[in-house]
Amino acid sequence: MKAVIQRVNHASVTVDGQVTSSIRKGLLVLLGITASDTREDSIWLSKKILNLRIFNDDKGIMNHSLLDIDGEVIIVSQFTLMASTKKGNRPSYIKAANAEIAVPLYTQFIEDIEMELGKKAGTGIFGADMKIDLQNDGPVTIVIDTEFKQ
């Protein structure tokens, strides 16, 4: 699993002109899933994201996690995170999991986040053409890949 995590002042997801999710202060998580990803990857990544100390304390130092600030989260599936650009100019998405593998893991990841966070996560719609609107705070953008968790 690969996640691009953006600290946001607000974010929303729109599909077919309808807002499916919106949040205030929190995290926008773009999530890519490979065929080799597992339940353990979901557990590890969800805990890592929720405990990242990337929110400012009262001294302006990034010392608080999403849990500490009682923030919100939107999780959006994004197979293009698995793109390989090694050869040529057309990205290859062969590493991206197909829907039979990706949907259950995406759903499980959302559930893992919600259980630890104690509230619902906003989401996009898997496989849909989504429009993401956000105000990146900082900007703070972090990439985490479970391939390198060891």
- Quote the percentage of the chain above a pLDDT of 90: 93
| Mean pLDDT for all residues in the chain | 96
Reduced to 3 states, what is the DSSP secondary structure of residue 75?
A: strand
Q: What confidence tier does 149 reach under pLDDT thresholds 50, 70, 90?
A: confident
- Measured between alpha carbons, how far is 69 from 67 in angstroms, rounded to an integer? 6
Residues annotated as part of the active site: 80
| CATH number, domain 2-148, options 3.40.50.300, 3.50.80.10, 3.40.47.10, 3.30.70.1450 | 3.50.80.10
Phi, psi of 73 (to 5 degrees): -145, 145
List C-alpha distances in Å: 130 to 14, 29, 85, 123, 125. 6, 14, 23, 11, 8
- pTM, entire model: 0.94
**pLDDT (mean) for 73-97:** 93
133: Cβ contacts below 8 Å, ≥ 6 apart? 11, 12, 14
Instruction: Establish whether the linkage from the previous residue to 139 is cis, with ω within 30° of 0.
Output: yes
Specify whether the backbone of 34 is left (phi greater than 0), alpha (psi in -120 to 50) or beta: beta
